[in-house]
Amino acid sequence: MNDTTSFSRLNIDERGVAWLTLDRPEVHNAFDDALIEDLNDHLDRLHRLCDDGKLRALVLRSEGKHFSAGADLAWMKRMVDYEFDDNLADSRRLSHLMHCLDTLACPTLCLVQGATYGGAVGLVACCDIAVASEKARFCLSEVRIGLAPAVISPYVQRAIGERQMRRYALSAEVISASLALELGLVHRVVEHDKLENARDEILDTLLACSPQSQKATKALLAHIAQEPDSAATRERCCRVISELRISHEGQEGLSAFFEKRSPRWQNDEEPS
C-alpha cells in the first residue's frame, strides 16, 4: 500500500511495517498546520490498520539533512494574527498528533538525524524506540521566542524526567546526541552512515516477537504509568498474562519454544 502527499509520505510494506516520512526537506521538515493535518490523517489510518491486525510496526523518519527544525517560519508569522480560539484549535491538532503517535498499539521506531527542535522533540519522545545519528541535536527552543513546549511537555518529561525537563525547557540549551542518550530521550546513538543498519536490526528484533503480546504489553505499560501501584493495576497485570497464556499466539509461542522452532508469526502464518 502507498499514499503520497505534498508534506509527508506513508508506505506500508509486505511485512506490515509502515514507513511515515516527513517530506519537506526544503524547509528542514518544519512543522506547519498543513503538515500536522497530513500526519494526523496518516496516523488515524494507521490506528485503524493496527486495530484490524494489518500493522506490525511504524518507522517514523524524515527526508534531508535534518529531522525537523521545529515550527515553520511562515506558519509562525500567520500565528501573530491568530486570536485565542484560533491558537487553541491549532494546539489541539498538534495535541491529537502527539496522542495518536503515543498510543498507536504497535511498536514505533523513530530515526533522528540533524536538527530536532521544538515540537519535533515531542515526536521522538512519543515513539517507543528512538535511534539518533551522532550528528543529531535536540532543543526545546520555545522559550527563546516567548512560547512554551506545552503540548509536547507530557511526553518529553516522561522521557527525560521532571528535573531534566525543567532545565532544558527553561534554558532552551541545545542537547547533543550523546547527552540525549544520557537523558533517555533516545535509546541508541550510531554513526551517521549506520542509521539504516540500526533501523534494520531493531525492526528484525521487533518482527520476531508476537504482535498480540506487543500490543498487550504496550497497553499494560501505559496503564501502569498512570497508576503504578494499586489493587486494580496488580489485578490487571495478572489478567493480562493469564489471557496471553491461553491465547492463540501464547500457545503457539510456548509450543515453538519447547519444540525448538520458530513461531508461526515469524513466517507470516496465523497460529491455529
> Does residue 80 have a pLDDT over 90?
no
Q: What is the largest CA-CA distance in the chain?
A: 67
Nearest to 20 by CA among 94, 133, 127, 179: 127
Same domain, 202 and 262: no
Nearest to 14 by CA among 60, 51, 57, 45: 57
Q: State the chain's mean pLDDT as an integer.
A: 92
Same domain, 214 and 181: no
pLDDT category, 76, cuts 50, 70, 90? confident
Kindly report, residue by residue over 201-229, the tens digit of the pLDDT: 999 999 999 999 999 999 999 999 988 88
Instruction: Give dist(CA 272, CA 270) in Å, integer.
Output: 6
% the chain with pLDDT above 70: 96
Q: Is the pTM of this model over 0.85?
A: yes
Domain stops at, among 206, 236, 254: 206
Does residue 158 lie within any of the structural domains?
yes
Q: Which helix (H) or strand (E) holds 49?
A: helix 33-51
Same domain, 185 and 215: no
> Does residue 78 have a pLDDT over 90?
no
Count: domains in the chain: 2
Burial pattern 14-46, b for ≥16 Cβ within 10 A else e, equals eebbbebbbbbeebbbbbbeebbebbbebbebb
- Taking each continuous run of H as one helix and of E as one strand, the counts in the chain are 11, 10
Same domain, 152 and 251: no
- Determine the structural domain holding residue 34 and report its residue range: 8-206
Same domain, 170 and 216: no
Kindly report, residue by residue over 137-172, the tens digit of the pLDDT: 999 999 999 999 999 999 999 999 999 999 999 999
Q: Which helix (H) or strand (E) holds 224?
A: helix 211-226
Does residue 135 lie within any of the structural domains?
yes
Looking at residue 250, its pLDDT comes to 85
Same domain, 125 and 64: yes
Average confidence (pLDDT) over 248-272: 80
> Does residue 270 have a pLDDT over 60?
no
The domain that contains 109 carries what CATH number? 3.90.226.10
- Kindly report which listed range (54-68, 76-90, 179-193) carries the lowest average pLDDT score: 76-90
pLDDT category, 77, cuts 50, 70, 90? confident
